[in-house]
Amino acid sequence: MILDILKDTWIMIPLLYITYCVLEIFERKDSSDDSMFYSLQKYGPLFGAILGLIPQCGFSILAAMLFLQKNITLGTLIAVMIATSDEAIPVLISNPHLFSSLIALLVCKFVIALVVGYFVDFVLIKKQSIIHFEDMEEQEDEVEEDTNNACPCCYIQYPLYISAALRTLKIYGFIFITSLLISLCIEWIGIDALETILLSHSIFQPFITALFGFIPNCAITVVLAQLYTISGISFGSLLAGLITNAGLGLVCLIRYGASKKQIFQTCAILYITAVLSGMICILI
């Protein structure tokens, strides 16, 4: 079984490595200017939806910190979180036959993030007091420092090619373990039982994957993507799970003292959006 899994998955390694090399180049660009902060504040959910599409866990953390400091609206935070897909994108990229699904996923997440973000700001919560950056002193430095402290994995410690290789091996390890566990489950309980547990071919499957997505770990996005590659879950269910998996953004809200109301609002909006989006995708 292990040899079969290696045979089926080793081809992912070159594609994963190329993907992470590109991401490393992007992440290592000089970000000494605060254009990203100002863009989030100026353009709100529009820029948040675009930023969230980049598979980088730090952006949801950044958005959470800015929201707690009242620099951005809840709608902007929600837009970043909805658009975030973390490691699911590299996994899908490493499966060339799923390119069409990847494009559809990115388009759906962008549109949903945009619509829900503006809906939150202009319908659900109309009055939100925002502190503009020009009225603050040294705020951006504090945000950057807190973001780094909240996300140690975002530090750049190695040369680009080594860092990309380490990230590739890490995610490939997740993929291999996930594939092995799924294969063992199928062999142990049977594919029919597994489909029953996952509510396969059911419109209610997004309810489960959306809850599963709240687990704050990049491995969860790998699991969801792998389940989709073997048709264990539908595209709508994959979308639902990835909408609620907002990187470490939710963890930051809790860690840095967000009110219970703010946490509940954020989780409720994400879950309802995830379930409805997933069910609509299944129906159409």
pLDDT in tens, 67-100: 988 888 999 999 999 998 877 888 888 888 889 9
By the 8 A CB rule, do 58 and 88 touch? no
By the 8 A CB rule, do 54 and 85 touch? no
> What's residue 239's pLDDT?
95
Alpha-carbon gap, residue 284 to 280, rounded angstroms: 6
pLDDT digits (tens, 9 = 90+) for 233-261: 999 999 999 999 887 788 888 888 888 99
By the 8 A CB rule, do 150 and 73 touch? no
Check pLDDT > 50 for residue 152: no
Q: Which of 105, 49, 39, 111 is nearest to 81 (CA)?
A: 49
By the 8 A CB rule, do 137 and 63 touch? no
CA 71, 81, 173, 97 dihedral sign is negative
> Which residue's structure tokens are 């909408």?
243
106: which 2 tokens? 């990115």
- The Cβ of residue 34 has, within 10 Å, a number of other Cβ atoms equal to 15
> What's residue 200's pLDDT?
78
CA distances (Å), origin 68, targets 135, 174, 250? 16, 32, 11
Check pLDDT > 50 for residue 164: yes
By the 8 A CB rule, do 205 and 278 touch? yes
Confidence at 155, pLDDT banded by 50, 70, 90: very low
